[in-house]
Amino acid sequence: MTAKDPQAAGLASLASLVADETRAACLLALLDGRAWTAGELARHAGVAASTLSEHLDKLVAGGLLAQERQGRHRYVRLADARVAGLVEGLAAQVPAAAGRPRSLRESSTRSAMARGRTCYDHLAGRLGTAVTDALTLRGLLRQDTGFALTDAGVEWFGTAGITLDLSSRRPLARACLDWTERRPHLAGAAGAALCRHALDAGWCVRIGSERAVQVTPSGERELAALLGIRPSAWQ
């Protein structure tokens, strides 16, 4: 008898966690990088609180979610950036024609998400790939041997007033496959720092109840001045 691959059972178990529409909906919602209450996720997924609680227990036990309790509220979030990359990468494999919008509101939400959104803690959508392309074009980011900031790239972040934690054990730059653009955008510590600065400095604002973000007029000016990006790149 051929010996079984010891990783096979673990991979199958991991796949089974995601292979449920309710759990998949929760994982996608949590890509906004924030902690949600169980009640919020239940309403988002359209299931009873008791049903959602069972699903959350499985995701926490499987290491995909982390949880904490404050009073009577249970908060959950993605366990870490690796889980976010896994979810975004799997979503990128879904055929574009699958799950067509069922209403004008859903269509508008999807369009906004495709223009710009957060993927856990970094920028995604056309905005995210436009920033990634601009950094690469200017020699600030390399993609030829995997994502890596150049020395000029590290200097650029400082000049732009964006603080990088160079002592972090997290990769400074990492490629994350964008599920709407079907190509990589910048993740890792640099991607997170850029996204955080964009929101804190008012370059972008969150819109709606999803992960969508919108570039503000001041953001348009800063992106044009710092990276030469025009609104047409994400609109």
Residues of the chain with CATH 1.10.10.10: 9-79
State yes or no: pLDDT of 94 exceeds 70.
yes
Terminal alpha carbon distance of the chain: 57
The pLDDT confidence band at residue 188, using thresholds 50, 70 and 90, is very high
Given this model, what pLDDT does residue 2 score? 58
pLDDT at 165 over 60: yes
What contacts 168, CB < 8 A, 6 or more positions away? 189
- Nearest one of 181, 190, 89, 205 to 136, comparing CA atoms: 190
DSSP letter for 3, please.
P
Tell me: the pLDDT tens digits for 25-60? 999 989 888 899 999 999 989 999 999 999 999 999
- The residue that leads in pLDDT, 224 or 88, is 224
Handedness of CA 108, 175, 164, 170 (dihedral sign): positive
pLDDT at 113 over 90: no
Name the nearest CA neighbour of 199 among 177, 191, 87. Answer: 191
Q: To 5 degrees, how large is the angle CA 182–CA 186–CA 191?
A: 145
Which DSSP symbol is given to 92? Answer: T
What mean pLDDT value characterizes the chain? 89
Class of domain 9-79: mainly alpha
Q: Using an 8 Å Cβ cutoff, are 66 and 79 in contact?
A: yes
β-pair partners for 174: 187
Burial 103-127 (b: 16+ CB within 10 A, else e): eeeeeebbebbbbbbbbbbbbbbbb
Q: How far is CA 159 from the centre of its chain?
A: 25
Question: What confidence tier does 96 reach under pLDDT thresholds 50, 70, 90?
Answer: low
* Helix 217-227 / helix 125-137 crossing angle, nearest 10 deg: 20
Structure tokens at 3: 């010996």
